[in-house]
Amino acid sequence: MAWDYIIVGAGSAGCVLAHRLSAKPGNRVLVLEGGGNDTSPLVRIPAGEIKAILNPRFNWMYMSEADPSLNGRDAMWPGGKVLGGSSSINGMIYLRGQHEDYDDWARTIGNTGAWSYRDVLPYFKRMETNPLGPSEYHGDSGPLVVSDVPTPHPLARVFYEGAKEIGIPFNPDVNGERQEGVGPNQGTIRFGRRNSAARAFLRPVMDRPNLSVETEAKVDKVVFEEGRARTVVYSRGGERREATADGEIILSAGAIASPTILLRSGIGPGADLSQFGIPVVAESPGVGNNLQEHPAAWVAGYVDVSTYNTEVTPSGWVRHGLNWLLRGKGPAASPIAQAVAFVRTRPEEEERPDIQIHFIPTGYDFGPNGIKLLDRPAITLPVNVCRPKSRSRLTLRSADPNDAPRIFSNLLGDEDDVRRMVDGCKISRAIFESNAFKPHYQGLFMPAPDKRSDADLEAYVRAYTLPAYHPVGTCKMGIDDMAVVDPELRVRGVQGLRVIDASIMPIVPSSNTNAPSIMVGEKGSDLVLGR
């Protein structure tokens, strides 16, 4: 049969599209997801996040090339390989970004396409049910139920007080009127279970007779007839298959996979395609470029209060497991970070926050052999640059769909980003060394306590910075020559094909990207339906 809509990818945006487009019974909708089902306890239990994201069963685990800005280190760039996509393996942190982020998007596309903050706010409200209740900034009847941290760690309040002590104002709602300040995180968690895009948007409607979802369906390319996207070629169970669309094909495979599919389909820089023998369908030099990611450096300190890393014991598993199972509370029911601070590193120069600091009541060692839990109580205050200037890119490794793309990471390629990382590490240290923390703080673990100079901290961030798992921008929307999609998310140069996911973001939002990706799915569904 021919479908009205074929959605490639059941991730944060793709699940929203499936929900909205199939709401009209006359629309025949097919969803093709390269990963499997989301029923594993590692996906469903919030505390399983680290194990899920490090498991190739749930994560495509793309690896970058050696990054010269990180002393030649490579790094893993994740992509959800499961229903719900990355929303099924992320830290479940619910943050929208700053109002100005979306106003900047609008300016980059000439204020066309209605992408300013006031334009996208109704979609943020439409998608959520928020415990803060209905207001100018929040909704209370959307499919995505978010929650407050059910059982905050005792040191979360100390984090607030330490931040306030050094001049960071308290902000009870960092998704509301403004983002600046220190305050609690909310999580995409419902009744103590991960509430991914699949659980919120897709699974409640999977019994619709006009909606079909195929898992473990790995898409190769889109085939065109007279310039119009017509067929999706994919494999499932070792068998080559094709699906045909009478209406539109929508790529929602994420910032790594969506541009890779475009390139294999003949849309991209012609010189890159020719070396792999791929005929050029549409010359589009921006495909795979403009790759943006928040660099993250981990500042960790020892404390005298039990933290979650020291409670991974048989008795701890029983106690916290029962609390989660019976009450939906405790560490097992919390997002990875329970609080957050958005800070201007140089208030006299900055108009809005330029770094983000999370409060994580767990101590990690990020060594050469990967991530492991510390064996004594510790908390982590990781630093992200909100709007990095560094840009990376990706391209094909070959025309074979089984070959992962080449990611040319340049995570700290701009000196301005390095400066902000260094200043952010100083701020995290200042919070640790505040009077509020003094009764509990027992010294820094990362970076080493004697590393205080700018030169020492620059060496530290280049040695330990990692991607924050927020890639965007590789199919950016716009009106310039490097734009891959127009403001209505239609792929330029062809017909019947859109990209609707984080890859269309021209500038990375100033915080975690899951909520903005879901918003893109909401607005994208209206664009497809002509609303």
Catalytically active residues are 470
In 3D space, the residue among 166, 18, 179, 138 whose CA is nearest the CA of residue 83 turns out to be 18
Note whether 132 and 138 are within 8 A (CB).
Answer: yes
Nearest-angstrom CA–CA distance, 394 and 47: 32
Is-contact 14 31, C-beta < 8 A? yes
Q: Which residues fall within 8 angstroms of residue 348, CB to CB, at 6 or more apart?
A: none
Distances (CA, A) of 74 to 9, 65, 333, 407, 416: 26, 6, 32, 10, 21
Cα–Cα distances (Å) from 329 to 143, 316, 319, 335, 392, in that order, read 22, 14, 11, 11, 40
* Widest Cα–Cα separation across the chain: 71
Q: In a 10 Å sphere around its CB, with 0-12 CB exposed, 13-18 middle and 19+ buried, how is residue 279 labelled?
A: exposed
| Pairing state between β 218-225 and 383-385 | unpaired
For tokens 């019947």, the residue is: 496
Q: Which amino acid is at 112?
A: T
Phi, psi of 344 (to 5 degrees): -90, 120
Backbone angles phi, psi at 8, to 5 degrees: -95, 105
Tell the residue number behind the tokens 């209206």, with chain if given: 526
- Which residue has tokens 């997002």? 335
Tokens of 67: 């990054």
| Kind plus residue range of the DSSP H or E element containing 458 | helix 454-464
The residue type found at 519 is M
CA pair distance 279, 288, nearest whole angstrom: 17
Dist. CA 35–CA 85, nearest whole Å: 8
Residue ranges of E strands in 24-138: 29-32, 62-63, 76-77, 93-94, 128-129
